[in-house]
């Protein structure tokens, strides 16, 4: 039945245009949603940034831990933490304005799905495999063009990873709508996510690629800033905290758009109280006449 509903979604006239407008509309309203939920955001984001800063402080202060500074374990740890943050933010998005009932409370209190964590781990492994192939000499070429050191350093880092980022984002955008379905406890298959996301594939790619590119830019900027600051543990901690906080901001935007787009395209409805007169009734969006 889910597959039939997904298929019908893509067959309705004008669904591509509607999906495109949904993606852009939700991208614009995401900022207002963030302002309405700042308390929750900072309650979750600040501990993440603080953890990143604390780890960087300890590793920079004690030279016996120098070999652990760029270890893949930290990437794996924060990939899981980011997945939990994204899942929580999408749950908040999906349940905004929901009428109190047991099903709403259960979904709000539910922990992240194991499939969600596996999804995040798989794409982390893909990123790590892709990182084994690097472009070299770009920063030196930019310096040879007499660009300022800051510009050459940041731009060189971005260009080094741009092909990897493009390929990784392309794969993720194809099945990204699986994530809000997992947060809503309405699992869909990869093929269903592929079909459901067809009308908004280009906007989703631009959203995810833009967020990943901004994250990489913040990382490059903090790495360059670290070279300018005194060689003190607090400097490494500050730059790590800024980077992690920037990632949380980007994840909040991406999570809001993914959740709202999935809700619109899948016709998902919030759980309703038992005494609601039209409980679980769904309406189908009409195409243009």
Q: 32 vs 79, which has greater pLDDT?
A: 79
Least confident segment among 43-57, 131-145, 150-164, 182-196: 131-145
Instruction: Please report, rounded to a whole number, the percentage of residues in the chain having pLDDT higher than 90.
Output: 40
- For the chain, the average pLDDT equals 81
Identify the pLDDT of residue 27: 55
Q: 274 vs 226, which has greater pLDDT?
A: 226
How many Å apart are CA 277 and CA 99, to the nearest integer? 13
Instruction: Please report, rounded to a whole number, the percentage of residues in the chain having pLDDT higher than 70.
Output: 80
Q: 101 vs 272, which has greater pLDDT?
A: 101
pLDDT band at 155 (very low <50, low <70, confident <90, very high): confident
pLDDT band at 23 (very low <50, low <70, confident <90, very high): low
Q: Which tens digit of pLDDT belongs to each residue from 82-134?
A: 999 999 999 999 998 888 888 888 888 898 999 999 999 999 999 988 888 77
Identify the pLDDT of residue 24: 53
Identify the pLDDT of residue 30: 66
How many Å apart are CA 92 and CA 148, to the nearest integer? 43
At 57, give phi and psi (nearest 5°). -65, -50
Alpha helix segments (H runs only) across the chain: 2-11, 15-36, 38-61, 72-94, 102-109, 114-130, 138-144, 149-174, 178-183, 190-196, 201-228, 233-266
The answer, yes or no, to whether residue 2 has pLDDT greater than 50, is no
């Amino acid at each position: 039945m889910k597959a039939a509903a997904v298929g019908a979604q893509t067959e309705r006239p004008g669904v591509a245009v509607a999906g495109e407008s949904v993606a852009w509309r939700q991208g614009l309203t995401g900022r207002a949603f963030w302002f309405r939920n700042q308390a929750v955001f900072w309650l979750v984001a600040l501990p993440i940034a603080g953890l990143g800063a604390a780890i960087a402080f300890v590793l920079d202060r004690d030279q016996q831990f120098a070999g652990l500074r760029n270890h893949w374990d930290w990437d794996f740890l924060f990939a899981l933490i980011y997945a939990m943050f994204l899942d929580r933010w999408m749950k908040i998005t999906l349940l905004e304005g929901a009428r109190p009932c047991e099903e709403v409370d259960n979904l709000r209190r539910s922990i992240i799905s194991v499939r969600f964590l596996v999804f995040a781990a798989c794409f982390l492994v893909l990123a790590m495999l892709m990182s084994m192939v690097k472009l070299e000499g770009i920063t030196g070429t930019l310096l040879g063009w007499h660009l300022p050191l800051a510009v050459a350093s940041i731009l060189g880092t971005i260009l080094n990873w741009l092909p990897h980022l493009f390929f990784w984002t392309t794969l993720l955008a194809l099945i990204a709508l699986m994530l809000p379905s997992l947060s809503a406890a309405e699992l869909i298959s990869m093929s269903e996510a592929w079909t459901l996301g067809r009308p908004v594939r280009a906007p989703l790619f631009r959203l995810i690629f833009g967020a990943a590119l901004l994250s990489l830019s913040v990382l490059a900027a903090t790495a360059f800033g670290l070279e300018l600051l005194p060689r003190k543990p607090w400097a490494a901690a500050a730059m790590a905290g800024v980077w992690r906080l920037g990632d949380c901001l980007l994840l909040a935007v991406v999570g809001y758009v993914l959740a709202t787009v999935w809700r619109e395209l899948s016709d998902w409805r919030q759980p309703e109280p038992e005494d609601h007169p039209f409980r679980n009734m769904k309406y189908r969006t009409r195409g243009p006449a």
